[in-house]
Amino acid sequence: MRYTAVTFTSSNIEDWQKDLLIAELANLGFDTFEDQSQGFVAYIPASNLDIQALETLLITEAVGYEVNYKVEELENKNWNQVWESNFSPILVDNKCYVRATFHEDKPEYPYQIIIDPKMSFGTGHHQTTSMMLSYILENDFEGKKVLDMGCGTGILAVLASKRGASDILAVDFDPICVDSVLENKVLNEVSNIEAKLGSKEVISGKYFDVILANINRNILLDQFDVYASDLPASGELYISGFYESEDLDILKEKAELLNFQFEDKKVLDNWCAAKFIKAK
């Protein structure tokens, strides 16, 4: 597959602004990002690059800083192979070991997740995914029906299954992610995960005991109403993909309007995850 690299440079962009911009670029189809001293490089399949959409995004999102970009067509090569070569295993809470198929087996840990790394989010390396994994390790999933919304590789769904969840629905708008979930459930020998392509329309009118949503602030705000209608009293909602300082209070306010009670939060490098309970 032929890829295009877009190099973004800025002399005054803050780290949190860069992370938010990267999250929005992912929604445009960019699937791999590489940090640089004064910016970052974003990679996208050449056929998916929409310059007009990119310009519109920069106008609306690049507020309070200046950013320039340069587009470069890359030679045709196996970019998944390049990505895999940079994938390293991680350990969460000294309990959950996340590795690729080409890494050494570590049976000494209670939970081992094997991920076939594709150029998509959800390998466990990002702070938000790590915190969500930690929440799953800390809480009771035995016999519960679970939704993994914005599932990426399905890593959260896999751990929920290993923690005893009865049925799991994994949803993502990216067909690459849906295919990745189907591959990774086989690798991890779990059979109770269903993967569906789409967004909130896929889950409307369904019932879950637990919802996991590691997306971003704007999508969480847009989907909160559906989460509220899909969870019963005492149902659990775990969210991440946002910043503590900029976003948590906004999300808590929205949650309270829908009869959710804020339980607690986790914070890593200003990235935040939070737990809510549906009130009776």
pLDDT at 203 over 70: yes
- Altogether, the residues listed in the chain come to a count of 280
CATH, domain range 3-77: 3.30.70.260
Q: Whole-prediction pTM value?
A: 0.76
Q: What is the dihedral of CA 248, 249, 254, 257, to 10 degrees?
A: 130
For residue 77, what pLDDT band results from cuts at 50, 70 and 90? low
Match 């192979």 to its residue by tokens.
81
Residue 84 has a pLDDT of: 60
For residue range 36-50, list pLDDT tens digits in order. Answer: 778 888 888 888 899
Token output for 135: 């929440």
Q: Which of 22-26, 57-61, 140-144, 197-201 has the lowest mean pLDDT?
A: 22-26
> Rounded to the nearest 5 degrees, what angle is found at the Cα of 271, between the Cα atoms of 139 and 34?
120
Which stretches of the chain are DSSP H helices?
A: 15-27, 51-61, 79-85, 127-138, 155-162, 175-187, 200-203, 217-230, 244-257
The domain ranges of the chain are: 3-77, 131-278
Residue 174 has a pLDDT of: 80
pLDDT at 267 over 90: yes
CATH architecture for segment(s) 131-278? 3-Layer(aba) Sandwich (3.40)
For residue range 122-150, list pLDDT tens digits in order. Answer: 455 678 899 999 999 999 999 999 999 99
pLDDT at 82 over 80: no
